[in-house]
A and B are shown apart, each in its own frame.
Chain A
Amino acid sequence: MSFEPKLLGFLCNWCSYAGADLAGVSRIQYPPNMRVIRVMCSGRIDPKFIIQALELGIDGVYVMGCHLGDCHYLEGNYEAVMKFEMTQEFLKLVGLDDRIRLDWVSASEGVRYGNVVSKFVNDIKELGPSPLGGDSPDKELINKVRAIKLAAGSNRMRALVGRERKITEEENVYGEKYPLKKFKEIMSQAIKEEFDRHRILIALEDESKSVKALGSELKIDPSIILEHMLILKSRAQVDFQEIIKNTPIYMKM
């Protein structure tokens, strides 16, 4: 039997969901692989929803909203873009970025809805089953995706992504606008750091470990782990447990 992808779609109530209904009224036929969760606005889509779905082994996640400029809530879809782009950059770290997609479908685009869903089904079919699906998914990958879920939900990332439009699109009190490129660099840096930090926290869940042990387990240079440890300690997320033969052992708080 050929591979039938298991897909999830988040549709905004006013445009995409109405477009999907119109596809029905017009009897547009498309494959039945995607289940739909209705939300009021694409801006409601928290990155953790997307990442949670992937963690469960769902093969692909589609986020749909109103076309830019047509949002029922004025600018919710612009916020959706910011959050989606951050999520995608996180998922790039584990090669799952191709499995999520953002698109705009208006209430009058029933035909287009059928087309984009069909295309998504085909594209994911070509990509093959999610490495997180099946009965025995790779434990290491699952932990990485969990780290992404936690990192994307961290205060730092949410504060950054939440301020992105304000910082890059509006002028501050001195009439300066922060360059988008520079902001994106900060964002990328933060994504990498928070990914590693949350991997460390997950690795410490079962037992306390030394920097060296964490380095070899996570395949990260121990000097970088040590830097992360200092930050995590200052955030009260890790602490010393004991010192064995001059080597500090860290535990998760």
Chain B
Amino acid sequence: MVEEEKKEEDVRVGVFICHCGSNIGGLIDCKGLAEYAGTLHGVAHSEDNLYTCSETGLTAIKTAIKENNLNRVVVASCTPRTHEPLFRECISEAGLNPYLFNFVNIRDQCTWVHMKDPEGAYAKAADLVKMGVAKAEKLKPLDMIKLDINPIGLVIGGGVTGMSAALNLSRQGFKTYLVERDDRLGGRLNDLYKLFPHDIEASVLLDKLITNLNNSPNLEILLSTKITNIDGFVGNYEIELLQNGKDVNLKVGIIIVAVGSSILDPQGLFKYDGQKIITQYELEPKLKNKQIKAKEVVMIQCAGSRNDKRPYCSSVCCMTALKNALIIKEKNPETHISILFRDLYTPGTEYEKYYRKAREEGILFIRYEENRNPIVEENHIRVYNEFMGEEMLIPYDLLVLSTPLVANSDNKDLAQMLKVPTESNNFFLEAHVKLRPSDFATDGVFIGGSAKWPVDITESIAQGYSAASRASTILSHKTIEVEGSTSNLPVYNKNLCTGCEICVKVCPFHAIIKNEDDEIEIIEALCKGCGVCGATCTNQAIVIRHFTDDQIMSEILAYGGK
């Protein structure tokens, strides 16, 4: 690590105010702002640029660092969430530690949101620059933490997502373990009949996947195996498993979570009885074995979903219903089929065809409202038809409920072991829905398929591949660098630590331990830099690098100081 410097150094801050074309410069006086920045304490150079992130702008930063001997850089522009990495790299090319950079957001959180108040926007931008410079003065150089990578992958869940991910990873040449708690691979694929689109049989896809897996030299499949404990961090995970009552230990570099989802227990829904009233899931094997003799079939969509208890759309049920209705129609064109739906979801280029075909085949679609659920009676369904404005009775001898996929009941246990979050429906929550859809916030742990939210087979395969390719970005390296802005118990603060261990308890990543010498130790590779321990430490001994008390206080004082 870089030595924690205690001595005062001569701080020389350079401030760069970006016009961002007219995005910022069109509203506030960037030249004036740069001049104001030049008057601030510690600032040795300030200028405004048309686009600081352009080649010209970056060159200007590098030149100014050399000419003015700058050792801190502040850029006031768009947002650190998109451009901080670029400027960090820029100053590091000019020989400065990348952590000696501070970003001031004067576009996304200033000129774009105060367009009718240029004076107010300028005052805000000026304060933000002042606060940014104050923090920059206190910044300390930090090192990224380097970790060795064990180039082995672990895929949890042997359903279609897990199989796809494991296949992809092993074919890239990485040793891969595929762990499945059942005694066979395939998950729900085993119970399905035909798959949309293209109506291929599930067993055909499953056989092909299993053959490919068996032919993959780098792959080891562990059936009837449960995860009991996970320790370690990116590149160096240690997994404890239980296979048929026997302990197994694995050392892997990354983990892919592909545990899929569960079927909702339909008891109590629309008078479900498992005989005359069944679920789509129970219909599949009946279709496969050609057991359907019913003449009047009714399907109810959103049975148990998109309500207060389960507010989400299960996304696979509309297509399942359309597909199964068409299979019944194909076998027996005389069957009357009605689909009672709230909204029909057939996205993309393939799925809409099913809907059109269903209409052509004479399948009836009747929309019902959320607060007017169909009522199941002895021989017919009573449903309010909103287009006709009256109730209608539909006879049935088979009622099929399109129930949603739900999160596995033991997701929380796995989430706790992995130190990853779940959302309010208990599905796993990715790091960012758009920017990092296959990652967890925890480095080295990836996600795909219905473990995240209900997805169909096509999407599961794609997400399995996606998770595997994200994982390979780590496995393909010998070492990895992780964020250096971690929690730290500096040597000079050791005497402040009372050993109360509250930090050990509040750390969500178990990165703080009491070591063999009975001293508090922070395992930096595990630390994600949230800073909770720093705000909690009873004697304020813990320092949160890059967000130190001193740095945050200096921002507050710069704003509030008179």
Interface residues of A (CB under 8 A from B): 6, 8, 13-14, 17-18, 20-21, 23-25, 27-33, 35-41, 43-46, 48-49, 52-53, 56-58, 69-76, 79, 83, 107-108, 114, 153, 155, 158-159, 161-163, 165-166
Contact = CB atoms under 8 A, between A and B. Distances in A.
A76 B505 contact: no
B174 to A, nearest CB: 28
B116 interface: yes
Interface of B: 79-81, 105, 107-110, 112-117, 120-121, 123-124, 127-128, 131, 419-424, 429, 431-433, 441, 485, 498, 500, 502, 505-506, 508-509, 528-532, 534-540, 544, 547, 549, 552-553, 555-557, 559-562
Given A41-B532, A108-B433, 15 more contacts: A8-B560, A13-B81, A20-B108, A21-B79, A24-B110, A27-B113, A28-B113, A30-B114, A37-B552, A49-B552, A69-B424, A74-B420, A74-B508, A79-B532, A162-B536
A146 B562 CA distance: 17
18 contacts: A8-B556, A20-B108, A23-B108, A24-B108, A32-B110, A38-B105, A44-B531, A46-B535, A46-B552, A53-B556, A57-B560, A69-B422, A69-B424, A72-B421, A73-B530, A107-B432, A162-B538, A166-B505
Contacts of A165: 506
B558 to A, nearest CB: 10
A49 B535 CA distance: 10
Contacts of B549: 46, 48
Nearest to A13: B81
Given A44-B535, A46-B549, A79-B506, A38 B80 contact: yes
Q: Determine the main DSSP class of A at the interface with B.
A: mixed
A79 B560 contact: no
A199 B55 CA distance: 57
A24 to B, nearest CB: 3
Contacts of B431: 72
Nearest to B80: A38
B483 to A, nearest CB: 10
A56 B531 contact: no
Contacts of B420: 74
B535 A56 contact: no
B531 A23 contact: no
A108 B432 CA distance: 11
Contact of A58 (B107, B112, B423, B560): B560
A25 B79 CA distance: 11
Contacts of A48: 549
Nearest to A72: B441
Contacts of B502: 159, 162-163
A248 B372 CA distance: 80
A53 B557 CA distance: 8
A142 B547 CA distance: 27
Contact of B506 (A36, A69, A155, A162): A162
A158 B537 contact: yes
